[in-house]
Each structure stands twice: as C-alpha cells, then as structure tokens.
Chains A and B, each alone.
Chain A
Amino acid sequence: MLVTVTSTAPAASNLSHLLRKHPDRAQAFPLSVGTAHVFYPEVSDERCTVALILEVDPIGLVRDKRFRGSDAATLARYVNDRPYASSSMVAVALGQVFRTAMNGTSESFPELAASALPLEITVAAVPARGRDTAGLVTRLFEPLGWSVTETPIPLDPAFPEWGDSVYVDLVLRGEVRLSDALRHLYVLLPVLDDAKHYWVSDDEIGKLLRAGVGWLPHHPERELITRRYLAHQPSMVNEATARLSADTRLNDLDDLPAPELAEPSEQSGSAPLAQQRAEAVLTALHDVGAHTVADVGCGEGTLLKRLSAEAAFTTIIGCDVSASVLVKAARTLNLREASDRQHERVHLAQSSVTYQDDRIAGLDAIVLMEVIEHLDLERLPALESAVFGAAAPGAVIVTTPNADFNARYESLPAGSFRHRDHRFEWSRAEFAAWAAEVAARRGYSVEYRTVGDVDVELGSPTQLALFRKATNL
C-alpha cells in the first residue's frame, strides 16, 4: 500500500517534473483498485521523495467481481492482505498515476528522463516470501542494477516461534532511469505477488511487453517473470481450470515430485513412473484376459484414456470420489463428443471405495491404482468388503508405493511419505501381508509384481498386487 521513490540527484526536486505531480500538493486519484494518494514527504535540492499510498476499500473489494480470486466464497475474501500489502494492486496504481513518467517522455526535461538517476525506492510489506520464492527478490532486482535490502516482517512478535511472515520491507538503491525503475516495479510487484495477482484488464500480454522493453528480454529470470505475470490471465476457462486443478487426481499430486524423485541416479532414460505404472496395470489386465474393467479412483482419467484406446476392453467404468475431478475426466475422455456406442462402453460414476456400489459388481477386473494409501488404515476393511466382497470382480489390481524404496529418494526425509495425503506407505512385507490376508479371506490368489526400475535391495518404486478370483472353491 506504500511506495516511496527518492532521488538524490543534483536538483533532486526535479523529480516532481518527471512525475508531473506538484511537490506541495497532495493529490488523490480514484482508481479501479482504490484511491491512490500522491504527495511529497520530503523536498529539497539534495533529496526529493514522492510517496504513493493506495487506500483499498476492503468491503468494495469483496463485492467487486473483478477482484475475486479462486478463493471466492471463503473467509479469505473478507479478511485479506490487499488493503495493507504492496501487491499487484499497487503496481496497477503506479502504472495509472505515473503513466507519463513510466513512458520516459518529458517535454520539459527530456535529458533528465533519459538519464540514470541515483534512486532509493522503498516498498512496504511486499508479499515476497511465499512458496519457492526464497531469494527471489534479489534474483529479480539485482540484474537490473539495484542493490537490494529486504527486511523480513515477523508473523507475530508475541509468538516468535511462528517465524517470519511472507512480507518484507523492500529497499532498492541504484542508478536507474526513473522510467525503468517504475516499469521494474510495475512488472515485478505482481510477479512477487504471484498467486494473488488479480486481473485488471484484457491486455496483460501487451502491457508486459511494453513495460518490459529494454530489460525483460535479457533478464536471467525472464521465463519465471513471464510465467508468473501471465499466470492469472482472466479468461473464464483459465479460472475454471485453476479451480479444478486445485483438486486434481491424487495420483498426479503424488507424481509431482517424480522428476526429482523417480530418477535419482543412473536410471535416466526410463519412462516416468506414472507411465510405467499404467503400463504395468495394462499388462496385468491383459494377463487376466479382462474385458470389463473399472478404474476405481480414476482421477482425471489418464488410465481410462489408455483403456479406451484398446478394443479388448468392452466395458470401462471410471469411478472417483470427487465429482469435480470426474468433470475433468469426462473432458480427458472427450465424452461430450462420444457416440452412443462409446457412451455405452465408457462411463464415469461418482463412487467411493468404502461403500458398496452395485454399478461395479461382477466385472472382470477392478483397478485400484495408487488409491489405498489415501485411505486411513481403519477404512481398509470397508474397502476390502466393497471391492473384494460386494463387487467381487474376476481380478483386482492394486498398486501402491513401496516404502522400502523411499531410501533411494535423497530429497525425502526418512520416515516421511511421498505425498502429503498419504496415510501410510507400506514396505513390500507389509503390503504382501495385507494382500495375502485379503486373498485368503475373499477367495483370491495373489501375485506380486514390480513397477519401475528395480533396486536389488529395495525393490521397485511402486509395488503391484494382482489378485485373481479362485474358481470353484
């Protein structure tokens, strides 16, 4: 909400001419994002400081559709940092209030506008220390000629154990043209703000390119800047996708660390683990000669898509507990354009592995790919009853992480799980013990397979159990 720009150039007060704002008057500008106040707390020939304070109307913010982020309808809308932090909204205000100065044109002082000035910029409470942003402020500003001082703001001095907040007070010092300095802020404040960059107008790409002239193309973090700046484009499609991707298939979340984890060493060149897992499941389905199949916990339907490509599968049912993820699966499978025959062959149903569901009863096979570890252990008997007891398919294929293999993931602290929603991860012995008991109780035989590159001692990253119903008990 607060930015100050100080010039210590000779005849420093000329700053006001470049900014085209009178040094002895306070001016207020009503903007879409709130009211911007511009005034000069200090004016002398040695030092001239202009301050911009953005007053955000918190209630108006809640009621204005344009500022609703993806957290609409949560309390976050009502109590949030927009009125206090120097966020992307401040960048918008800078761009509107100092448009001329930002363009670098000045009728009265063209040389001054074109030359680098000794500047000191302070920005209060910049949201800059969120996820993956450690050191980011320096990485963004230093290549542009700034010396950067960040002072972290503690979360709450009364609770030192809580550590620092995501906000820093930022001071930039350097010899930079005023126009460039303002354009740096205009682009980089939203980049630091990242997730909270609210949409303001349609032409974000054009604005980025214009504001980035002369510096963005050579910036070492150009890619990050572009991605983050444009990450929150306003199309409804994107907004919807963003909302949906917040709860994507658990498998996919699970596979997020895969690039780092799955290929820790010499095994480069292998297919990603997720792909190898799907192939292992398909192989198992072919081995049991399955034609009617349910993928229970199908998520966004990546496996279903592969199943539907093979004529051998005559009935394909995808189930997931989340209704919203099934919408995505329908899109993956292009169900809206599917013919009646395809609809008969492939369908989706919201269901849960802890409830008996007759829609998946009596099939050739049921796939539980990376599902069981997302259930509390105490619910596994219900899963067993529903899948092995009530649905009683000819075969059940279960895949789950092999905890023994976790030792190979250097970035994974000992004893922790590969995904934060995992309720447990089993060693090969634990998995085999469970599988053998289920098989015995429910009249199945069980066979264990590896998925992924096998370590002699630790086994494979994913383990697979193939249950076949024993005939004529």
Chain B
Amino acid sequence: MTRLPLPNLSLVVLVGASGSGKSTFAATHFGQFETLSSDFFRGLVSNDENDQVATSAAFEALRFVAGKRLDAGLLTVIDATNVQADARRSLVALARAHDVLPVAVVLDVPQSVCVERNAARADRTFGASVIKRQHDQLRRSLKQLGKEGFRRVHMLSGLDEIAAAEFVREPLLNDRSDESGPFDAIGDVHGCRSELEALLGKLGYELMRDDEDRPIDAVHPQGRRAIFLGDLIDRGPDTPGVLRLAMGMVAAGHALAVPGNHEAKLVRALDGKKVQTSHGLAETLAQLSSETEEFRHEVLHFCRDLVSHLVLDEGRLVVAHAGLIEKYHGRASSRVRAFSLFGDTTGETDDYGLPVRLPWAEDYRGKATVLYGHVPTLEAEWVNGTMCLDTGCVFGGKLSALRYPEKEIVDVPAESVWYEPVAPMGARESSGGVAAGAVTRDPGLLRIDDVLGKQIVETRVFGKVGIREDNAAGALEVMSRFATDPRRLVYLPPTMSPPHVSDRDGILEHPAEAFAAYRREGLDRLICEEKHMGSRAVVLLTRDATRFGAPEGWRGAVHTRTGRPFFDESTTDDFLSRLDRAAETAGLWSEFKTSWLLFDAELLPWSLKAGPMIREQYASVAAAATSALPAASRVLQAAVDRGVDVTDLLARTQHRASNAEAYRDSYRRYSQPVSGVDGVQLAPFQLLASEGASQLGQDHSWHLAIADRLAAADEEFIRRTRHIDVDLTSAESEAAATTWWEDLTNAGGEGMVVKPVAGLVRGTRSLAQPGIKVRGDEYLRIIYGPDYLDPTNLARLRDRDVGHKRSMALREYALGVEAVERFVADEQLWRVHQAVFGVLAMESEPVDPRL
C-alpha cells in the first residue's frame, strides 16, 4: 500500500494512455461526482462517448463544470488521457484561475496492456498505433510535469504500483480552521522589540528569557495565542530581538505567524538573490550580521516556511499581512500569496513612490473577519468586518493588537520615531485608505449588488430571509428617489395582519380570532393596544448628527413605512426639537446614556399624510353617494306615491343612503386640519433602540411606560396609547378585553392591535406574529366600501386568506429587527441597509390591500 498525499482542495489531472485504466482508477479512489470524464462529456454533447469530433465542445463543457466545482471548493478529478502538454496546460490554467493546486497522477501502464484492453472493447475503434502515439507522448511528458506548474506529481509505474496506491487527503497548509483561539492579533512590529514586549505584557503574556536576558517566548496564563500579522522585521532598532521572541513563541505553539512583504524580501536576500536593500532591509541585514550563522539559518527557515495566510476558527477568522478578498480565503496560488503579501496592487506607484493599492476592504462583503497590517493607519478601525492593525509603531505611532473573539483593541505607544516615513502618517488614507491618485471609494457608498438581484439576509431571530429579485427591483426606485438617506434609515416596520374572518353574524373581524391565533402559538400573556388612526411613523431623534453622517445640527428623521419623510426640513426640525424636549423632561437621554433614540409610532392625524387620498378617494365617493342616493330615493318615493311597486328598491336605496352617511362619518373622524407641527400628535408605542442597545426584547408594557413618560412631559404633542392586558387562561380577562375593544370601536376608534406582552417572543413553531390588528365595523367601511355589512356582500367578503400576509409580516419583522440589531452593533452601512431594503422589497409584493 502506497499512501499518496493529496491536498483537500486540488484539481487532480489523471495522465495516461487510452486503456491505462484511468476510469477504473478514478472510480476506485474518488467519489461519483468528483471525477469528470472526457468520455462522459463527449456523450453529453454528442450522444457518443467516442465521437472525436465532439472533443472540443466536450472539453469546454468539462472545464465549465470543473470551474463551478472549484468555485465551491470541491476537489475535482479530470479523467482524460492528458498525454499532450497542451491539454494539461489548459487544466493548470483552470486550477490557477480558481486558486487551487494542480496535481498530476500519472498511470504509466505498459503499452501492450493498453492495446489488449482496448481491443476487448467494442466501442473503441482506434488501433494500436493511436495507443503507441499516446504512449510516446506520455514518455516525453513525464519530466516536464513539474515545470508545467503541477504542484505535486504522483508517478505510478506499472500495474502493481497502481493497484497499491491509496490517497490521503490533507488540509491545505493555510487551513487551520480547527483552531479557534482565543487569539491576540498583532500588527506590524518592524523590529520594535521593546514595544512588542510592552504590548505582550499589556495583553497578559509572561515573557520567558534566555541566559542573556533576551526574550525567547511569551506564555499567556489563559492559553491565549498571539498571531503575528507579518513585517516583524526591518526599519526598527532590534529586528533580531523581535525575531527571536516571535520564532520562540511560534515554535512553542504560543503564537502563529503569517509572512509580510518584508520577510519575503529577506528570504530572497538570505538566499543570496539580488534585492534592493531600501525600506529598512539594509538595517536588518546589518543587525543580523552580528548574530550567529545558526540564528540566521533559523531565521531563513522560519520566514521561508510561513504560510501566506491562515484560515482559523471554522472559517470565521482569516489573517494575512495585507488582507485578503473572500474569493482567496483558503485557496492556494501565486496570486493569493501575492495578494496576502502586497495587497490589491495596480502596479503603479504614487507621488511618494509607494505602490498604489486598491481599497479591497471597502468592497469586502465576506463572512469571515479579516485581520491584517501592511498599510500604516492612524487608528485601527473596522471596515466591512476587516481591520488593519498596522498603526505605524516604527514611524512613531503605536503597536496595536486585537483580542479575538472579544474584538477589543489593545495598544502601546511607540517609544520613539524609529524611522521617518516616506509619506506622512495618515496622508495616504485621506480618501478611504488609498494612495492619492488611485481609485477612490467612499466608505459610505452602497453597492448596487448589495440590494439588487436575489438576496438572502441572515437574520438572528428568523434565520435566512430571501428577497425575490423582482421585489428588489421594484423597491429600488422608491429607495433611491423617495426614501430617507440610507445612513439615516435604520428601520422599516413590518406589515400587520388582521385575524381570520369571524364566524359571528354581521361582522368581519373580532378579537376572539386574534386571541385564538396566539393561543395556538402557546402564548397566554397578551396586551391589547389602541390602534390610532394615523400613519405609521418611524422617528429617529439624535443629538449627534455625525453618528448618521449628517450635518451639524441635524436632529433626525421622521419617515413613513416606506421610508419617505413626512415633513419638509424645517417642520421636521420643529417636530424633533419638541420631541427632544419631551425626552429631556422624561429623562430618557440620561437614563439610556445615548445620543439617539429610535421610536416606532403612529403619527396623527391621518389626514396629515393621507389628505389627498381622503379627499380624492374617500370624500369623493361619499360626495357622489350622499348626493345621488337621496335623489334616487326621492324619485322612487314619487313612483311609490303614484302606486308603482318600487318599495323594495326604495328601502334598499334608503338603507344605502344611510350607509353612505356612516361611511362619510368614518373618514371624517380622521381628518383634522393641520399647519406645520400644530395639531400634529405622535403616539410612540415602542422605543426600538438607543446607542448600544436594541430594546426590541422588552415587554410592551415597558415600552408603553416610556411613551407615557413622554406624554406626561408634553400631553398636547404626545398621545398615549390606551391598552389592556389579557391573560388567556382567564375567561374574564378575555371577555374584559373584548368589551374594551367594543367600547373603543363603538366610540369611533379604528380598533386595536393584539400583541404578546413579551418582545421578540417565540411561539410553538417559530417567531410569533408581532401583532394582529382587529378593526372595528365602522372603520372597515372605508376599507371595504359603505355597503360591506349587507349580508350578501359580507358573505362574499368572508373568503379572504391571511396566510400570505402573516408570513410576510413575520419575514418583514425579522428583517426590521435585524436592521436595528446590526445598526446597534455598529455594523457596516451596507449590512444595515440590506435588511432595511429587504423590508421595502417585500412590501412591493402584491397583497390584498384590504388586509
């Protein structure tokens, strides 16, 4: 048995003449889908596995499928003769294009065996001469395979060796995903030994020293390990000292390290290659010259063996000196190594003679946290889940480390400006961390592919929520042209479902069905909140405009459920300054230690936003109805008076006339004239979040208590939300709530919203509906029309399905919650926006507007 190592992620190219047993070999050693056979693809594209005319199309299809597999990180085996250099070259290129290792496995079988096997097969019509030619080609190939770019070549000569072969799959050197830390990632040290000692001390490591009192190891009592992000050497005062400590830690298993571009250059210098000794290499070589030959040898091996990047903690953490785009994580190729060492370089240099680098982190959308160094910045900051920890210690900045998974920054100041920077510190980051003249991207800018196309948003309360492509397309215009600036659009509320149709006579909605829905979810403790007949409003109130990228003095935003501002700028300002005063009086600013507050609320009166709709739709219909129906009644009465039998029609018409009056009364209740902020009222019913804290998990009674405090501070402006608690285990409690609803709606109220008392609560199966609205009979006239309660009409209206609406409500709720949580966690703008956009996209889905 010969054990042949095989990297987990590789493109395995079988090489052997026809009849050498490749397919059998592949079937023995690899999975059903892992092997892509040229014969099979010939069959796919031509119906004939041996049709040589189809070869070119077959290989095109094969390479396409192989590419998809490699993209997915799957080992793939190519079963074709591959005896010609040309054929192999395209496969090596394919492996490189997907940043995986090309591996050749040669089956060198005696020509006679091949000929014999082919003769036994009816479908192989080519003769021995073809086999001979292939054999000759194979012979000529053998020595070149390494040169052609195969990173590993397994030569199996003869039937015995082939039979004895066994593959052992090995993880790539960069795959350390089983190591989960905790870690302390340390930025560019550049020979600053003293600062490194101080930083390790501050991080809690204990230094070990040799006889000469030189630090050779550092141990953390809790078993934490350091990660050196490269560029340990050059420029600074004591490169050998840094190396001695770092190498000792790595050797003892107390640290991991990735190489920097400086180490890479040192390796070439120590190997005797000609290199420029600028940028501090000269100093390093001078310092190393006073060390022993043995130490220099250790340094060479240490630096040479470093793996360009490491994937850690189940793929959640990636470290590389200059960072790494997601596509390259866990991959192996020259360009992956080059990116890890030098970043996304364009080959150009800037005014300071330094290479121009593209700001890859601005576009980073990967799941893994990426930690890196390489470009000195003033402060270590998160950019799309990545952080550069090079804070220019050697240039007089500081030496920084990040605790992982805690994500706390620990740093120590430089003891001196050890090396004058070519460019002033921070000068090269004036436009998002890029050299002047390079392509600049503004960090706040969102990408179109963050929102368009099919999106999947991973939510913490409901798992994955998919946004359909056409829904996203529908939302783009509203978001781009009408909505509040995305930096200030933290939340959009979900749609809300009514209950199932009531089986009571003469009524469409009743609290009983809402209670039943929650009972089925196993939830007993509910709260009924008065439903204000206004417009849903999200109110962001801030005393720190910069938190939202807004100009000084900006107080926040008041927007609709589709993100549109309610007021013009100056009215918004008046509105928010009044709310700010109320929040001050209520003590919210100090209690929550926050510079901003986010409320979910209802804005009254309804006519404020819906004025045109009330006039053009509701009042208009009422004008026609209340004028035409009495006229018709008069004409009918005249006919009745002269003995024509239209009594039924008259009664019907008079009844409809009174329905029309009732309908007119319904909308009139919600129409009050308003000028500026005067006459406007806000009924907040949930404090969604404040700095550092999502409040979505709080009980609704907690939220309403806050609203009451605001109302106490400004009764005229803030409207209280009347409410009643329900305990479904008590029939009296349920009956009391029902009576409460009846009183509310009989007095002209719109209705109520039934919610579980607890926030973000789970039902029997999944997240519970956040609320179910139960509307009053009279209010529903303006939804279903003046005559909806007539028995024949009502009977037909009963068939309505709330299932789809419920499902949408849950998904939208999950997205809204996710947006708030992401904002509170200070995640990147695109992450918050993706969830907010998702709510809007879902809203563009057509649903019965009466629900």
Chain A residues within 8 Å of B479, by CB: 352
Chain B residues within 8 Å of A59, by CB: 785, 793, 796-797
B441 within 8 A of A: yes
**Bound state CA distance, A350 and B480, in angstroms?**
12
Chain A residues within 8 Å of B171, by CB: none
Chain B residues within 8 Å of A356, by CB: 441, 445-448
Main secondary structure on A side of the interface with B? mixed
> Can you name the residue of chain B whose Cβ is closest to the Cβ of A85?
B624
A78 within 8 A of B: yes
A167 touches B649 (CB 8 A): no
B454 within 8 A of A: no
- Chain A contact-residue range equals 35 or more
B272 within 8 A of A: no
Chain B residues within 8 Å of A162, by CB: 615, 619
Pick from A159, A321, A358: contact of B477, CB under 8 Å: A321
B452 touches A79 (CB 8 A): no
Q: Choose the segment among B55-63, B155-163, B407-415, B638-646 that binds chain A (4+ C-beta atoms closer than 8 Å).
A: B638-646
B198 within 8 A of A: no
Chain B residues within 8 Å of A75, by CB: 617, 783, 849-850
Pick from B436, B440, B620: contact of A165, CB under 8 Å: B620
**Bound state CA distance, A63 and B668, in angstroms?**
28
**Bound state CA distance, A446 and B628, in angstroms?**
63
Q: Choose the segment among A252-260, A308-316, A373-381 that binds chain B (4+ C-beta atoms closer than 8 Å).
A: A373-381
A2 within 8 A of B: yes
B137 within 8 A of A: no
A79 touches B448 (CB 8 A): no
B442 within 8 A of A: yes
B784 within 8 A of A: yes
- Which of B474, B646, B660 is the most central at the interface, judged by chain A CB atoms within 10 Å of its CB? B646
Q: Choose the segment among B392-400, B418-426, B629-637 that binds chain A (4+ C-beta atoms closer than 8 Å).
A: B629-637
Q: Which chain A residues in 32-88 approach chain B with CB under 8 Å?
A: 37, 39-43, 51, 53, 55, 58-59, 63, 73-76, 78-81, 83-86
B437 within 8 A of A: yes
A76 touches B617 (CB 8 A): yes
- Chain B contact-residue range equals 35 or more
A81 touches B621 (CB 8 A): yes
B251 within 8 A of A: no
A161 touches B644 (CB 8 A): no
How many whole Å from B161's CB to the nearest CB in chain A? 51
A321 touches B437 (CB 8 A): no
A118 within 8 A of B: no
A86 touches B628 (CB 8 A): yes
Chain A residues within 8 Å of B645, by CB: 26
A390 within 8 A of B: yes
Q: Which chain B residues in 276-300 approach chain A with CB under 8 Å?
A: none
Chain A residues within 8 Å of B797, by CB: 59
B627 touches A153 (CB 8 A): yes
Q: Mark B607-620, 1 if CB is under 8 A from A, else 0.
A: 00000000101111
B197 within 8 A of A: no
Q: Mark B8-50, 1 if CB is under 8 A from A, else 0.
A: 0000000000000000000000000000000000000000000
B628 touches A2 (CB 8 A): yes
**Bound state CA distance, A473 and B356, in angstroms?**
14
A155 touches B445 (CB 8 A): no
> Can you name the residue of chain B whose Cβ is closest to the Cβ of A87?
B624
A389 within 8 A of B: yes
Q: Which chain A residues in 143-195 approach chain B with CB under 8 Å?
A: 153-156, 158-159, 161-162, 165-167, 169
A24 touches B623 (CB 8 A): no
A1 within 8 A of B: yes
**Bound state CA distance, A307 and B24, in angstroms?**
59
Chain B residues within 8 Å of A386, by CB: 445
Chain B residues within 8 Å of A215, by CB: none
Q: A78-B785, A353-B480 are in contact. Are A155 and B442 (CB under 8 A)?
A: no
Pick from B442, B477, B623: contact of A153, CB under 8 Å: B623
How many whole Å from B447's CB to the nearest CB in chain A? 5
Give the B-binding residues of A (Cβ under 8 A): 1-2, 4, 24-26, 37, 39-43, 51, 53, 55, 58-59, 63, 73-76, 78-81, 83-86, 124-125, 127, 153-156, 158-159, 161-162, 165-167, 169, 321-323, 350-359, 374-376, 378-379, 382, 385-386, 389-390, 392, 473
Q: Please give 16 more A-B residue pairs, beta carbons under 8 A apart, in addition to A84-B624, A125-B624.
A: A25-B644, A39-B636, A40-B644, A79-B784, A83-B787, A85-B624, A127-B624, A166-B620, A322-B477, A353-B480, A357-B448, A379-B480, A382-B445, A382-B446, A385-B442, A389-B445
6 A-B pairs with C-beta separation under 8 A: A1-B628, A2-B631, A2-B635, A74-B849, A75-B617, A385-B442
Give the A-binding residues of B (Cβ under 8 A): 436-437, 439-442, 444-452, 470, 473-474, 476-477, 479-481, 485-486, 615, 617-625, 627-629, 631-632, 635-636, 638-639, 642-646, 649, 652-653, 660, 664, 668, 671, 673, 782-785, 787, 793, 796-797, 846, 849-850
The 8 closest A-B pairs by CB, nearest first: A41-B638, A165-B623, A352-B480, A84-B624, A125-B628, A385-B442, A355-B448, A84-B625
